[in-house]
Copies of this chain bind each other. A is one copy, B any other.
Amino acid sequence: MLTHINEQGRAKMVDVSEKKETIRVARALAKVLMKESTLKRIKEGGIKKGDVLSVAQVAGIMAAKNTANSIPMCHPIMLSAVNINYQYLENGIKIIAEVKCAGKTGVEMEALTAVSITGLTIYDMCKAIDKEMIITDICLLEKSGGKSGHFRRKQSER
């Protein structure tokens, strides 16, 4: 059932009033694929103080907190932790965000929004040298703490 549909067939924000407050965690993934030379530039920048990945990480954390203002049917949630990590791939960068809250609904949208905006910020800061970058494989890796039980993506970490 698409739970976000109301009695008139339009969208609503689902009622979670009676759900229990539990510790909820979600981890999401995105990849930014790019030219070898672009990746090299990011890595070099990473040695200096003002690197691309630091800026992107700040953007991702702020986006996670702002999710309920971006995704219309998302419930406002008071996040209790956001952590974003990177791994270098041969042809790009893997972004992993872990988000936590003590609340009534899951935080998968917050984790997914975090990795998406982190990826978009990397794109923005490198687009002068590489317009062909692709942000891809945005998906939920793991989710726990809700009534629906522990979800773990099968080919985890893809």
Contact = CB atoms under 8 A, between A and B. Distances in A.
**Oligomeric state, in copies:** 6
Contacts of A140: 131-132
Interface string A91-123: 000000000111110001100110011011101
A53 interface: yes
Contacts of A14: 81
Given A80-B15, A112-B120, A41 B6 contact: no
A81 to B, nearest CB: 4
A62 B117 CA distance: 15
Interface residues of A, number: 94
A2 B78 contact: no
Interface string A121-144: 101111111011111111110010
